[in-house]
Structure 1
Amino acid sequence: MKRKLAAAFVFALLLTNCSAEKVNLSPISDNITDDLYTPSDLNIRAQTISYQSAISNLISTFPKFNNDAVDKEVNNLKLSLTNYIKSISSKNIKLQKKYFKNYVIYYKKIQKLRRYLNQDKDNVLNRYLVRIKTNVNLLKSIN
C-alpha cells in the first residue's frame, strides 16, 4: 500500500513539474524584449533620474541672498537647469545644448557676482553651485 502511494506521489510530482512552456518562434518579439530591458540601459536611466532629482532638490532649496543681482542670476540659473532637465527627459538634443549653454553663462555670472556677498553667504552659494555643477556634469556624461 505504501509502495503504491509513494509511486502515485512520484508520478504526480513528475507530472506537475514537467510542464511544457509554449515556444515563441517570432524573431520580432525576441528583439523587442532584448532591446527594451538591457541592464545597462536600466542602470543609465536610474542614474539619470537620480542626478535629475538631485538637481531639482537643489533648485527647490536654493536660498535667497538679499542681493538683487545675485538673486536674479540664481533665478535664471534655476530656470535654465529646469529646462535642461526637461530637454533631457524629452530627448531633445538641440534644446539640451541650448539650455546647457544658458546654464554655463548664468553659472559664470554668479561666480563673478559672488565677491559682493559676505563670506557666510558666499560659502552657502559655493556649496550649492558645487553640488549643482557636479550633478550636471555627471548627468551630461551619461547622456
Structure 2
Amino acid sequence: MNKKKFSYILIFFFALSCSAEKINLSPVGNSILEKGEGVQTYSYSERKNLIVYSSEITNLISSFPKFRNDAVNKEVTNLKYHLKDYIGALESYNINGLNNAQRSFEKSYKKLQKLRPYLNSDEDQVLNRYLVRIKTNMSLLESNIPKDSLSTSKIN
C-alpha cells in the first residue's frame, strides 16, 4: 500500500515538474512584442538581441553590490537610475530620452572611474567587472538599435 502511494506521489510530482529556460526580467521584452499604432516594430533578430542585452543590464542593476565608500554608492545609485531611464526610453522608442539617458550614464560612468582609486583592490575589481559588463551590453544594445528608428525628420 505504501509503495503504491509513493509511486502515485512520484508520478504526480514527475507530471507537474517542468523546466524553464532563462526567464526574461527585462521591461523591454513585453513592450517590444506588443504592437502599437504608429510604433515601428523590430525584426525578430533585433527583438531577440534587444531583449537579451537589456535583460542583462537589468540583472546587473539588481545585483549591484554595496561598497564601503559612500560617494561610490551614491554614484552607483545615479548610474542605476540613468540605466533604467535608458531602458525605458528604448522601450518607448523615445529618441531624445535615449540620448539624454546615455549622456547622463556616461557622466556617471566617468565619475565612477574617477572614484575607483578610493576603493580597496577587491572592491575595485568588483566595480570594474560590473562596469565593463554594463558598458559592453550598452554598446551591443546601441549597435542593435535599427538606424531607421533613430533618424528624425526635420520639421520645415
Q: TM-score normalized by structure 2? A: 0.66
Per the alignment, residue 61 of structure 1 pairs with 63
Give the total of aligned pairs.
105
| Residue 47 of structure 2: aligned partner | 45
| Structure 1 partner of 2:27 | none
Quick check: 1:134 aligned with 2:136? yes
Match of 2:86 among 77, 84, 87: 84
**Is 1:71 aligned to 2:73, yes or no?**
yes
Percent identity between matched residues is 54
- For structure 2, the 5+ residue unaligned runs are 1-40, 146-156
Supply the distance in 2 between the matched residues of 1:66 and 1:90 (Cα, whole angstroms): 36
Structure 1: runs of 5+ lacking an equivalent: 1-37
Amino acid at match of 1:86: G
* More helix per residue: 1
Q: Kindly state the Cα deviation for residue 61 of structure 1 after the two structures are TM-superposed.
A: 0.2
1:7-22 aligned within 5 A: none
Q: In the alignment, what sits opposite 1:25?
A: none
Map Cα deviations across residues 51-81 of structure 1 (whole Å, 9 max, x no partner): 0000000000000002110000000000000
